[in-house]
């Protein structure tokens, strides 16, 4: 289970160190093989353990390559997908084009989302959380059947 928000610094080579508490499970679950791609809705990256990414690939494979919208989604997600392998120190290199897309420089946030991580520039993350907290109370939860009975 990938959860929590973790403040991390990229090193000068563009490597990110996965927090220690996730390293063993990622090695056990996927031999330390991860897939990083862009998020199509937000200026961040998505980092999947290989087995989780393979489920996404199966869904992408089922899409039509002749439907322009479906083909566009395949092109964007698969075209940006990069294999990343954890090294002995639990680090992996985020390729330059992905770092550029998300505006990643030094201070980043690694945010667990159950089956994947989001990778955010720290400043963008702080703004996104502020926006989300302001928007949530007025979102009209009653319009979503799944949220109607949601309680904390």
pLDDT at 134: 84
Give the mean model confidence (pLDDT) for residues 115-128. 97
Q: Is residue 60 part of a domain?
A: yes
Q: Is residue 32 part of a domain?
A: yes
Q: Is residue 12 part of a domain?
A: yes
The number of folded domains in the chain is 1
Q: Is residue 150 part of a domain?
A: no
Task: Provide the pLDDT confidence category of residue 139 given band limits of 50, 70 and 90.
Answer: low
Q: Is residue 24 part of a domain?
A: yes
Q: Is residue 145 part of a domain?
A: no
pLDDT at 135: 80
pLDDT (tens digit per residue) in 76-110: 999 999 999 999 999 999 999 999 999 999 999 99
DSSP 50: H
Q: Is residue 9 part of a domain?
A: yes
Top pLDDT among 117 and 140 is at 117
pLDDT (tens digit per residue) in 143-152: 677 777 766 7
Which residue range forms the structural domain that includes residue 30? 2-138
Give the Cα separation of 147 and 134 in Å (integer): 18
pLDDT (tens digit per residue) in 31-73: 999 999 999 999 999 999 999 999 999 999 999 989 999 999 9
Reading across the β-sheet that carries 33-38, which strands appear in turn?
A: 5-9, 107-112, 117-121, 45-49, 33-38, 82-85
DSSP 90: S
DSSP 86: -
Residue linked to tokens 């093989």 = 33
Residue ranges of the alpha helices (H) in 43-120? 50-61, 68-80, 96-102
Q: Kindly report the CATH number assigned to the domain that includes residue 102.
A: 3.40.1550.20
Q: Which of 11, 7, 37 is nearest to 123 (CA)?
A: 7
Q: What is the pTM of this model?
A: 0.91
Taking each helix axis from N to C end, the angle separating 20-30 and 50-61, rounded to the nearest 10 degrees, works out to 60
As given in the structure block, the two tokens for residue 107 are 């201070």
- The H-or-E segment that residue 74 falls in is helix 68-80
């Amino acid at each position: 289970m990938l959860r929590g928000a973790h403040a991390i610094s990229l090193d000068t080579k563009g490597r990110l160190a996965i927090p220690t508490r996730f390293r063993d499970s990622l090695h056990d679950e996927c031999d330390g093989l991860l897939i990083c791609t862009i998020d199509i809705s937000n200026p961040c990256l998505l980092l999947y353990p290989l087995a989780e990414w393979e489920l996404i690939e199966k869904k992408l494979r089922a899409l039509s390559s002749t439907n322009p919208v479906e083909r566009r989604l395949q092109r964007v997600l698969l075209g940006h997908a990069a294999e990343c392998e954890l090294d002995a120190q639990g680090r992996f290199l985020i390729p330059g084009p992905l770092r550029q897309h998300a505006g990643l420089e030094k201070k980043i946030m690694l945010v667990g989302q159950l089956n994947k991580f989001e990778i955010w520039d720290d400043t963008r993350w702080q703004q996104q959380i502020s926006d989300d907290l302001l928007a949530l109370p007025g979102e009209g939860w009653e319009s979503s059947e799944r949220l109607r009975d949601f309680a904390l």
